[in-house]
Structure 1
């Protein structure tokens, strides 16, 4: 019975994450909101920034809520907040209201759901943690592939505010129905796994408090920030970039945004698999290099194919961040406290969510509509990231040598 149940929970978790992955389709809303309300690009992108800024903060709060209320209640609460945030976004009249509705309320719902669906699914698959976690996280990354074109159709038919309301009701309904099937593994299974994990753990387990005292944490956290900047800039601005730089129609741009979701989801699985073969830090360097190549492609793009290559390289590298950093965190600070430790590392997403979209908005406003300055700035950030990876790799090697000497 449990074997069938875990596959049901995996499937349900993937579908729920597809729904909240709608957040990555923000760029198809950005331009209509600017047109309807006269907002600047930086004002519009701030809603997306706040949404992703709140996400990891909500993830940290999800743990205590689960201990008190259980996984099902927290997922259902997240579904209510997500749907409500979108529905209320369809009632806004000022830019500050959408910062609260889409940014704060919907973002909190996403964080609660994402934290539970990924961590709970991994617990159901102790022998295939990477596969279960990758597929569940991949659902979140793939959401825009499905919902960006859908959102464009709703916007065309109902206007941007009507689209928010309709999608909010749909997503809330789906998550509330499917969330009923979410359940934690039996306590006996969790205890057995905890015992096994404890037996296999080395003395490398570090508490969150002690982790925050290490230089390694701040290097890893810095890499998380840098790894998110380019991806979030493109995710938040892909539709306007395509329309401005290549002359795409809104429908064509939405098609491109959908491929961002596919690349994002694929990157989460593929880069994690590659890292098992060539190492975490070597993989990170490859990711930042390919992201940089994508930025160069966008700088020179004049047509759809090169535009697609550029955004997909960047999105796949961004997706890889979420495939790699749980393992990087575990490699450096152990498995025992991974959930809380990774939640703290994930706060780097909040900083990247602020910097990336704002770089694009700044570039557009300074250059009169071109994104080329943004591509140059973020290319420099990727080069700096590669240098930081080399530093992290050297620190990690010294750390391993010290452990080997002690034993």
Structure 2
């Protein structure tokens, strides 16, 4: 293995650990039941999704702060600090006696920890692969997407064997060891090692302040909100939807969650490579059209297990895709020099998408008594995304 490929593998394993957030739907029902049984507390659907929602929100909004320090501070030290915050959050969640405590620990502390660590392997890989940035970043992020393929059945087994609260503690200790050790491997290339193949497509080198004065930035930000709103809502409700709408038992629902994780994972290198080849606008258009197709199929064939598998696989594929489209497009549209800070600011869109999907998904269940109707706002949002992306984003590759 060449030296620069090692950073992809290292980052991939780190994202595999951090991506356990996408297995939240496996934790949600047992957690609600445990809090009711042990402490007599009834949790509404909206509140039950709040740890997941707050985690994603805090993770997104801590990224731009951490992004400003990635090249100013030793990346190893910054990554270790974030890794310990992640493990601390999971361990503390194991001592929870209320949903609010889960939100404060797993949601806030865990989200900030992931926000600190998340950008570091990506920034390192981007520096080592200036010639194949989209594909290389997508390959590294494969771990984040594939995580539920491993962690969903693992978490389900731990919960069945030890209970939901001990499972939080076991995973927290495991993350402390794995993430801290892998953080020690992170390193930016020396100038003499830096790959000489610099992309000829980079036309601009904008600072964060300059970037935020462009129409392209606000269009990309809105498009990212729509992509993450759609994908995160579907991912967060996959297990619950499978049980309530498709009538699957928890074990089969967890199996489907693991299956979908494959698509979330492969969506990253696929859409990263597509962004390198087709450019930002065409790749965004393709993503939105796929999401709309999945939503329409789900509405037309309610409860059909084949359509459920196909539609949700498409949705997971596209969420993974957006987490490669945006980092690759950040370099394409705004340059490499301020990549970490610029991408951190764009990533706040992920937080808004996370926050909005939590409230919308919970409201739909409470208002209509079923998660079946979640596809209506998803389709409407993607139609808006198609219009603004084609009007305001150029053809840069």
Fold similarity call, TM over 0.5: yes
Tell whether the 8 Å contact from 1:237 to 1:357 is kept in structure 2 after alignment. Answer: no
1:90 Cα offset (Å): 0.9
Q: 1:106 matched to which residue of 2?
A: 110
Instruction: Give me the whole-angstrom Cα distance separating, in 2, the residues matched to 1:81 and 1:362.
Output: 31
Select 1:162's aligned residue among 166, 169, 176: 166
Q: How does 1:43-122 map to 2 (within 5 A)?
A: 43-122=47-126
Counterpart secondary structure, 2:245: helix
Alignment of 1:363-402 (within 5 A): 363-368=364-369, 370-393=370-393, 396=394
Deviations for 1:122-163, whole angstroms, at most 9, x for unmatched residues?
Answer: 323344433321111111111111100100011111111111
Asked if the contact 2:245–2:372 (Cα under 8 Å) also holds between the matched residues in 1, the reply is no
Q: Which residue does the alignment assign to 1:186?
A: 190
In structure 2, the residue matched to 1:238 is 238
Deviations 1:10-30 (A, max 9, x none): 322211110111111111111
Alignment CA distance shift 1:385-1:29 (3 Å): same
Other structure's SS at 1:166 match: helix
Tell me by how many angstroms 1:228 deviates: 0.7
Once the two structures are overlaid, the 10-residue window that deviates more, 139-148 or 34-43, is: 34-43
Q: What does the per-residue CA deviation read over 1:189-237, in whole Å, with 9 as the maximum and x for residues that have no partner?
A: 35x86xx85x968762222112212222211111110111110001111
Task: Mark the CA change 1:379 to 1:200 in structure 2 (over 3 Å): closer, same or farther.
Answer: closer
Deviations 1:213-266 (A, max 9, x none): 222221111111011111000111111111000111111111111122211111
CA contact (8 A) 1:55 1:350 kept: yes
Paired residue for 1:307? Answer: 308
| 1:279 Cα offset (Å) | 3.3
Normalised by the length of structure 2, the TM-score is 0.91
- Pick closer, same or farther for the CA change 1:146–1:172 going to 2, 3 Å: same
The structural deviation recorded for 1:105 is: 1.0
| Count of residues in correspondence between the two structures | 390
Distance in 1 (CA, whole Å) between partners of 2:70 and 2:218 is 28
Contact 1:34 1:41 in 2 (8 A): no
Indicate the SS of the match to 1:173: helix
Q: Distance in 1 between matches of 2:48 and 2:191?
A: 46
Greater RCO between the two (CA within 8 Å, min separation 6)?
A: 2
CA contact (8 A) 1:201 1:334 kept: no
Supply the distance in 1 between the matched residues of 2:294 and 2:160 (Cα, whole angstroms): 31
Corresponding residue of 2:38: none
Deviation at 1:275, TM superposition (A): 3.4
Cα distance in structure 1, aligned partners of 2:365 and 2:56? 21
Q: Which runs of 5+ in 1 are unaligned?
A: 401-407
> SS where residue 49 of structure 2 aligns?
helix
TM-score relative to the length of structure 1: 0.89
**What does residue 22 of structure 2 align with?**
24
1:176 aligns with 2:180: yes
Cα deviation digits, residues 70-111 of structure 1 (max 9, x gap): 111112112111111111111111221111111111111212
Which of 91-100 and 169-178 deviates more? Answer: 169-178
Paired residue secondary structure (2:43): coil
The CA distance in 2 between the partners of 1:167 and 1:147, in whole Å, is 10
Conservation of the 8 A alpha-carbon contact between 1:201 and 1:335: no
For structure 2, the 5+ residue unaligned runs are 36-41
RMSD: 2.3
Judge which range, 348-357 or 108-117, deviates more: 108-117
How far 1:68 sits from its partner (Å)?
A: 4.9
Q: CA deviation at 1:335?
A: 2.7
Q: Report if aligned partners of 1:292, 1:314 keep a CA contact under 8 Å in 2.
A: no
